[in-house]
Amino acid sequence: MTTVNLIPRHIFGLKTDVHSNVAFVDDQTVAYPAGHQIVVCSLDDKRQKFIAGTEASEGVTATALAPSRRFLAVAERSERALVSIFDLKTLKKRKVLSSADAQARSYVSMAFSADNQLLLTQGGAPDWMLTC
C-alpha cells in the first residue's frame, strides 16, 4: 500500500479554543493555530508557512510569543502535556518541555519572562499546577 504525504499550500481558519491564539511576530507577520498546525502568515505577500503539530498530540491548547518575538511556545494536549519552543526565524523546533510532576494532559496558559529566559505554564485539570 502506498502512503501519500499531503503538504498544505494554504490553510483557512483559526482555532478559537486556544489561549492567546494570534501573535503578531512583526508588523507584517502573524502566527496562529489552525487545525493541527501553526500558520505563520505574511500579510505583505499573503504567503503562509506552517509548523506541524506533534504527531502523538491531540491539538494545540495555548501559545505564547517571547518578548523578543523570536520564539513561539506551543502547548499541546497529549498523554503528558507538552510545550514545544519554535524559532520563528527558521521555523525549527528548539526544545520540547514536559513536567514529570504534573498530571495534566494540557497546558491552558503560558507566558515568557521579560528577558525571554523563563516560561511560566499553567497546567490544566486535575492539578492546575504552575510550572516555571
What pLDDT shows up at residue 100? Answer: 83
Per-residue pLDDT band at 41 (split at 50, 70, 90): very high
d(CA 76, CA 74): 7
Peptide bond into 8 cis (omega under 30): no
Q: How confident is the prediction for the chain on average, in pLDDT?
A: 92
For residue range 60-108, list pLDDT tens digits in order: 999 999 999 999 999 999 998 999 999 999 999 999 998 888 888 999 9
Which of 113, 104, 115 has the alpha carbon at shortest distance from 75? 104
Task: Give residue 56's pLDDT band: very low, low, confident or very high (50, 70, 90).
Answer: confident
Q: Could you tell me the CA-to-CA distances from 130 to 6, 70, 97, 123 in Å, in that order?
A: 37, 24, 14, 6
Q: What are the chain's domains?
A: 23-131 (2.120.10.30)
pLDDT at 115 over 90: yes
**pLDDT tier, 59 (very low <50, low <70, confident <90, very high otherwise):** very high
% of the chain residues with pLDDT over 70: 99
Residue 4: per-residue pLDDT: 83
